[in-house]
Amino acid sequence: MINKFDSVLLAQKKFIYHYKNMRWAKGRHETYLCFVVKRRVGPNSLSFDFGHLRNRSGCHVELLFLRLLEAGALCPGLWGYGAPDSVGLCYSVTWFCSWSPCSDCSYRLAQFLSQTPNLRLRIYVSRLYFCDPEDSSAREGLRMLQRAGVQITVMNYEDYFYCWQTFVACRQRVFKAWDGLHQNSVQLARKLNDILQPGEAEDWRDAFELLGL
């Protein structure tokens, strides 16, 4: 069974504007979050919910999503009650975010996940939020999420194509990659790997220095 949480799909121009993985994303002050929630009870029962959210009234979109979870609007029975089949209930949640979470949202997410072992979260991001300084709190927040079991990945062409087909009012129009999508995705993926695996990145830099590269 598939249920659409938000009946209004994203406009094509809005999706491209907010999800374009440019290096300097000036003016993109909002964060959009497209989500898929998979609910499983036993081996033969699976349902889906999907939709999108954005920042509202000064509240970051990640925290808005948590409020929906806490209210039981998206994952009934997550806390072990509120649904007749809550025993053995598991949820898999996937986010496609225009920005990676800030440090505060990462901390709140990690706290929430520590209380909900029957929920798994995977986050795909279009761009990295305030991660240029090596000692930034946003970088540590992403590492905190990784330690909490969250899979964090930079979006590539296939992910944009999936979002276009699932969350955008595309009217059968095929998704067309913008200039630099692949190159920017590769660069951001390398940067994310440096953040999540800092020791490994330092080893590579040392090896390049020894080779004079």
In the block, tokens 């975010």 appear at: 97
How far apart (Å, rounded) are the C-alpha atoms in residues 99 and 34? 11
Which DSSP category does 26 fall into? T
pLDDT band at 2 (very low <50, low <70, confident <90, very high): very low
Q: What is the pLDDT of residues 11-61, one digit of tens each?
A: 999 999 999 999 888 888 899 999 999 998 767 667 889 999 999 988 999
CA atoms within 13 A on the CB side of 131: 24
Of the candidates 112, 109, 89, the one whose C-alpha atom is nearest the C-alpha of residue 100 is: 109
| Cα–Cα distance measured from residue 30 to residue 16, given in angstroms and rounded to the nearest whole number | 13
Asked if residue 96 lies in contact with residue 54, where contact means CB atoms within 8 angstroms, the answer is no
Q: Which of 62, 134, 200, 202 is catalytic?
A: 62
Determine the topology of domain 12-211 in CATH: Cytidine Deaminase; domain 2 (3.40.140)
Average pLDDT over the chain, rounded to an integer: 87
CA distances, 202 to each of 152, 179, 187, 208, 213 (Å):
20, 31, 17, 10, 14
Largest CA distance in the chain: 64
Whether residue 1 is predicted with pLDDT greater than 70 in this model: the reply is no
78 confidence band (pLDDT: 50, 70, 90): confident
The pTM for the full model equals: 0.86
- Each residue of 173-193: pLDDT tens digit? 999 999 999 999 999 999 999
Residues 151-163 pLDDT 10s: 999 999 999 999 9
The reported pLDDT for the residue numbered 83 is: 55
Is the pLDDT assigned to residue 209 strictly greater than 70? Answer: no
CB 109 within 8 A of CB 95: no
Establish whether 62 is a catalytic residue: yes
Residues 111-115 have a mean pLDDT of 96
Q: Cβ neighbours of residue 132 under 8 Å, at least 6 residues apart?
A: none
Give every CB contact of residue 7 below 8 A, 6+ residues apart in sequence: none
- CA angle in degrees (0–180, nearest 5) for 211-136-198: 35
